[in-house]
Structure 1
Amino acid sequence: MVDQLSWKVGGQQGEGIDSTGEVFSLAQNRLGYYLYTYRHFSSRIKGGHTNNKIRVSTKDIGAVSDDLDILVAFDQETIDVNYHELHSEGIIIADSKFNPTAPEDCKAKLFAVPFTEIANDLGTSLMKNMVAIGATSAILGQSTEEYREIVQEVYGRKGDKVVEKNMEALRQGAEYFNEQAGGPIERLQLEKADGKKRMFMIGNDAISLGFLVGGVRFMSAYPITPASEIMEYMIKHLPDYGGTVIQTEDEIAAATMAIGANYAGVRTITASAGPGLSLMMEAIGLSGITETPLVIVDTQRGGPSTGLPTKQEQSDLMAMIYGTHGEIPKVVMAPSTAEEAFYDAVEALNIAEEYQCPVILLSDLQLSLGKQSVQPLDYSKVEIRRGKLQQGELPELEAKEYFKRYEVTEDGVSPRVIPGQKSGIHHVTGVEHDQTGKPSEVASNRQAMMDKRHRKLNNLKFNQPIFTNKKHEDADLLVVGFNSTRGAIEEMMPRLEEDGIKVNHAHVRLVHPFPAEEMKELVDSAKKVVVVENNSTGQLANIMKMNIGNLDKINNVLKYNGNPFLPSEIYAKCKELL
């Protein structure tokens, strides 16, 4: 028996590949297994190869696996594109409809199963995905009845007859495979799971849930991959809490509308990807100079321009820190797991209001759209902090006097009021202004206002700016990453340790302001440093060099072909450098 296996289903987009992966993974989740998935899909509505790789384990996991145990193919292209991942004892189950063949150098065993034929005999070819899952259950030695709960959830609204038809498709798929193979494949039998209930969600859902419990009641956004699921989640759930979502005409409107709503006192967010963030840059500057809270999610994808809209990349880092014109205080956060994404979404709202500045929650496609097991969330950790928002009565103003909305304070944060609040009248403008908001070009005022705004982040409090796995005081190697590379890094570390290499791990969670002191301490205690990132220029490594020096120690491990890192790739690169 094995403690984990990797399963992939592939075919043409629009023929039920997603639903096949969803039913299979949900069933394993209900059985108590840990899961991590990554979906490869084309930037079109229908057609083009797509696949979903699902890793099932008895232990917590955070990355896609290096190899593949089972490949479910709905067309020949799936075999041709993915067979190289299969190890020598892997299995291909393919629809006999297209007369599947395995390449000469493929060592995995191919089983042709009539997915479409069985489904047609039951009434519709749409059920071929259930036949494939049934064949999978036979390989794993799982009873098809273990899938009933999920089938009922997915198809129950269509009636009991449809549920039973799908269950019959599962049974016939399992029976056909068992007749061909002579029963379950012993080497692919999973050890029994712990049976515990865990959440199973994509990072975008975790971010959305964090915003919901963190008090967001309005969202303005424009759809874009891979951020659209955040808006879809909020459209579905926000009205239940008295909130609403507006789909704007573009990202410029989304950002400015979010600024307006935050100015009015409503916790508001927007979400986009690289191209959308480019359009928001002027508005981010407006948030900075008007000192209006603004929270934006940037789900990174392959760029530039339209680039690779459905593929993994981490190339927005510099743009998020330095993209705005002029100089404003700004916070950029980068969670690395769905669990962190939930808590960081809440914290982003708090920081935006406490420091009255734009906060960017940086994700990437693998984190945003990859579905993973999440331990039960601790809602007692959620707190809402609104900073210097004046919610009581304000002192009376003298005649013709204005509220000092931009008062010069020691900590750089001024008192904030809601429009219409008695004695809170003030100017708001995108040009430089004095303490009441009145436009001013006086040199001394300009310097005082710039200094005031930049003092805000001198005392920024962030619970864990760097996630660290520090096993050694004097390490041979420090591996650094951000966002979704964490799981692959953690998985390859024991391999290096087995080779006698002392390795530490640091994952940056607060990108800006950069936690220089904490990182310098980790870098100083290592002989070499490797920074793992999905871009071509080593953006995080360059930020580290700017903030802490150590140019001779810091090395790059880069991948920018649209695919996420595999643990073996990082391991091999680290070995090369050492």
Structure 2
Amino acid sequence: MVNQLSWKVGGQQGEGIESTGEVFSIALNRLGYYLYGYRHFSSRIKGGHTNNKIRVSTTGVHTITHDLDILVAFDQETIDVNFHELKDGGIVIADAKFKPTIPDNSNVTLYPVPFTEIATELGTSLMKNMVAIGATSAVINIAPAHYQEVVQATYGRKGEQVVLKNMEAIKKGAQYMKEELGYDRTNLYLEKADGKRRMFMIGNDAIALGAIAAGSRFMAAYPITPASEIMEYLIKKLPELGGTVIQTEDEIAACTMAIGANYAGARAFTASAGPGLSLMMESIGLSGMTETPLVIVDTQRGGPSTGLPTKQEQSDIMAMIYGNHGEIPKIVLAPSTVQEAFYDTIEAFNLAEEYQCPVILLSDLQLSLGKQTVEPLEYEKIEIRRGKLLSEELPELENKGYFKRYEVTEDGISPRVLPGMKNGIHHVTGVEHDETGKPSESAQNRQTQMDKRMRKLKHIQFQHAVHRNVKHGDPDLLIIGIISTRGAIEEAMQSLEQDGLKVNHAHIRLLHPFPTKELLPLVEKAKKVVVVEQNATGQLANILKMNVGYQDKIHSVLKYDGNPFLPHEIYTKCKELF
């Protein structure tokens, strides 16, 4: 028996690959197994190779691995593309329809199973994916009955007969595979899980749920991969809570609409990816100049231009800090797990209102779309902070003047009122202005207002600026990462420690303003520092050098081929330094 294994299903896009992985993984999640899944998919709607790799374990897992125990193939291309990942002793379960073949002299067993034939006999070839799930279940010793609840939830709306047929397909697949295996037990029987129910979700769902928990009731957005699921989740949920989602004509409209809603007092936000954020840059400057709270989610993907819309990358780092023209206070958060995505989204809304500036929540495709087991969320931790938003009636202004919306204060944060508040009238403009908002080109006023706005950065507090996994006072190596690389780094650390190296890990969650105070002591004590990131130019490493120094000991481990980091890749690169 094994306590963890890696399973992958592949075929042509539009062939039911996603639903195969969903039914398989959700059933295992409900049995109490921990899972981490990552989909490789094409940017077209139908056609092109796609696969879904899922890691299953009796203990927590936070990344995919380079190896593979079971490959379920709906076409020969799936075998050709993914065979190299299979371990010695691995299994290929393939649709007999395409007469599958595997390389000679490999220590891998091929089981041709008539997925399509069995499904067609039951009424439709579309159920071949359920036959494949059944065949897999026989290999890992999971009874078909454990899929009943998931199949009911997935297909129940189509009628009870459809549910019965899909369950029959799973049973038929399991029975066929058992007969193929005979009395031999495979070495891939899964150990029993603890049976506890945990959430199983993608990062985008956690971000959307975090927005709801933060009190947001309005989202303006334009669909784009890999951010669209945030909008799709809220389209279903917000109307139940008295809120709404508006699909705008473009990202410029989405951003300015969110600014307007925040100015009116709503907690509103937008979400997009790199191309959309490029269009939003002028509006982000408007938020900074008018000191209007704004939350924006950037789910990074491969660029530039259209680039790799469905592939992993972390190349928006510099753009999110320095992309807009001029200088404004801005906060950039970077959660590294699904749980953090939930909590950091809530904190993004709090910080936006407390510091009256744009807050960017920086994700990436792996975190946004990778599905993983999530421990129960602690809702009692949620707090709503609205900063200097005035709620009590204002005193009448002298000479019926304007309210000092941009009053110069020690911390750079001015009192804020909502439109229509008695005695709160003020001017709002994107040009430079005085304390009441009236346009002003005075040199002295310009410097005073600029200094006021920028002072906010000195006072920003974020409790979880850096996730620290620090075991050693004088480490041989400090590994620094951001967003979804955390799981791969932590597994690479374990292997490096087994080799006798002393390794610490720092994962940055507050990208701007940069947490120099937290990182400097860690960098100083390490003999060597490795920055792991998914772009071609070492953007995070360069920011680290700008803020911390020690250029001579900082090394980059980069990957920008569209695929996530695997633990052995980080391990190998780090070992090369010693």
TM-score range, shorter chain: over 0.9
User: Counterpart of 2:398 in 1: which secondary structure?
Assistant: coil
User: Counterpart of 1:449 in 2: which secondary structure?
Assistant: helix
Q: 1:105 to 1:521 in 2, by over 3 A?
A: farther
User: How many angstroms does 1:196 deviate by?
Assistant: 0.9
Partner of 2:353: 353
Partner of 1:383: 383
Partners of 1:162 and 1:185 in 2: CA distance: 32
More displaced 10-residue stretch of structure 1: 537-546 or 392-401: 392-401
User: Counterpart of 1:352 in 2: which secondary structure?
Assistant: helix
Partner of 1:419: 419
Where does the alignment leave 5 or more consecutive residues of structure 2 unmatched?
none
Matches within 5 A, 1:444-463: 444-463=444-463
Partner of 1:370: 370
Partners of 2:107 and 2:12 in 1: CA distance: 24
User: How many angstroms does 1:397 deviate by?
Assistant: 1.4
Q: 1:105 to 1:207 in 2, by over 3 A?
A: farther
Matches within 5 A, 1:53-64: 53-64=53-64
Matches within 5 A, 1:239-258: 239-258=239-258
Partners of 2:467 and 2:577 in 1: CA distance: 23
Code of the residue aligned with 2:174 in structure 1: it is A
User: How many angstroms does 1:186 deviate by?
Assistant: 3.0
Code of the residue aligned with 2:163 in structure 1: it is V
Matched, 1:436 2:436: yes
The answer to whether the 8 A contact 1:432-1:446 is kept is: yes
Partner of 2:303: 303
User: Counterpart of 2:89 in 1: which secondary structure?
Assistant: strand
Code of the residue aligned with 2:535 in structure 1: it is N
Matched, 1:329 2:329: yes
Q: 1:8 to 1:431 in 2, by over 3 A?
A: same
Matched, 1:193 2:216: no
User: How many angstroms does 1:242 deviate by?
Assistant: 0.7
Partner of 1:40: 40
TM-score by length of 2: 0.99
User: How many angstroms does 1:185 deviate by?
Assistant: 4.0
User: Counterpart of 1:53 in 2: which secondary structure?
Assistant: strand
Deviations 1:291-344, CA, capped at 9 Å, x for gaps: 000000000000000000000000000000000000000000000000000000
The answer to whether the 8 A contact 1:138-1:184 is kept is: no
Matched, 1:51 2:51: yes
Code of the residue aligned with 1:325 in structure 2: it is H
User: How many angstroms does 1:167 deviate by?
Assistant: 1.1
The answer to whether the 8 A contact 1:412-1:453 is kept is: yes
User: Counterpart of 1:266 in 2: which secondary structure?
Assistant: coil
User: Counterpart of 1:351 in 2: which secondary structure?
Assistant: helix
Partners of 1:141 and 1:183 in 2: CA distance: 13
Partners of 2:509 and 2:520 in 1: CA distance: 15
Q: Pairwise CA RMSD of aligned residues?
A: 0.8
Deviations 1:375-417, CA, capped at 9 Å, x for gaps: 0000011000000011110111133400000000011000001
Partners of 2:184 and 2:464 in 1: CA distance: 46
Matched, 1:472 2:472: yes
Deviations 1:44-75, CA, capped at 9 Å, x for gaps: 01001000000000111110012000000000
**Structure 1 runs (4+) greater than 6 angstroms displaced:** none
More displaced 10-residue stretch of structure 1: 173-182 or 326-335: 173-182
Partner of 2:30: 30
Code of the residue aligned with 1:148 in structure 2: it is Q
Partner of 1:559: 559
The answer to whether the 8 A contact 1:139-1:183 is kept is: no
User: How many angstroms does 1:461 deviate by?
Assistant: 1.1
Partners of 2:378 and 2:224 in 1: CA distance: 30
Partners of 2:63 and 2:35 in 1: CA distance: 9
User: How many angstroms does 1:253 deviate by?
Assistant: 0.4
Partner of 2:180: 180
Matched, 1:163 2:163: yes
The answer to whether the 8 A contact 1:5-1:56 is kept is: yes
Q: 1:33 to 1:238 in 2, by over 3 A?
A: same
Partners of 1:418 and 1:103 in 2: CA distance: 69
The answer to whether the 8 A contact 1:140-1:185 is kept is: no
Code of the residue aligned with 1:203 in structure 2: it is G
Partner of 2:219: 219
Matched, 1:272 2:272: yes
Partner of 1:510: 510
Partners of 1:183 and 1:242 in 2: CA distance: 58
User: Counterpart of 2:126 in 1: which secondary structure?
Assistant: helix
Partners of 2:182 and 2:425 in 1: CA distance: 81
User: Counterpart of 2:373 in 1: which secondary structure?
Assistant: strand
Partner of 2:5: 5
Matches within 5 A, 1:275-286: 275-286=275-286
User: How many angstroms does 1:106 deviate by?
Assistant: 4.0
Percent identical among aligned pairs is 74
Partners of 1:395 and 1:104 in 2: CA distance: 86
Q: 1:449 to 1:93 in 2, by over 3 A?
A: same
Matches within 5 A, 1:307-318: 307-318=307-318
Partner of 1:547: 547
Deviations 1:265-310, CA, capped at 9 Å, x for gaps: 0000100000000000000000000000000000000000000000
Code of the residue aligned with 1:452 in structure 2: it is K
User: Counterpart of 1:315 in 2: which secondary structure?
Assistant: coil
Partners of 1:184 and 1:463 in 2: CA distance: 54
Partner of 1:138: 138
Partners of 2:183 and 2:144 in 1: CA distance: 14
Code of the residue aligned with 2:111 in structure 1: it is F
Deviations 1:60-104, CA, capped at 9 Å, x for gaps: 111001200000000010000000000111000000011111123
Partners of 1:261 and 1:158 in 2: CA distance: 39
User: How many angstroms does 1:425 deviate by?
Assistant: 0.3
User: Counterpart of 2:329 in 1: which secondary structure?
Assistant: coil
Q: 1:105 to 1:326 in 2, by over 3 A?
A: farther
Partners of 2:539 and 2:189 in 1: CA distance: 43
Partner of 2:124: 124
Partner of 1:79: 79
User: Counterpart of 1:79 in 2: which secondary structure?
Assistant: helix
The answer to whether the 8 A contact 1:434-1:440 is kept is: yes
Matched, 1:17 2:56: no
User: How many angstroms does 1:107 deviate by?
Assistant: 2.9
Partners of 1:501 and 1:106 in 2: CA distance: 35
Partner of 1:107: 107
Matches within 5 A, 1:223-234: 223-234=223-234
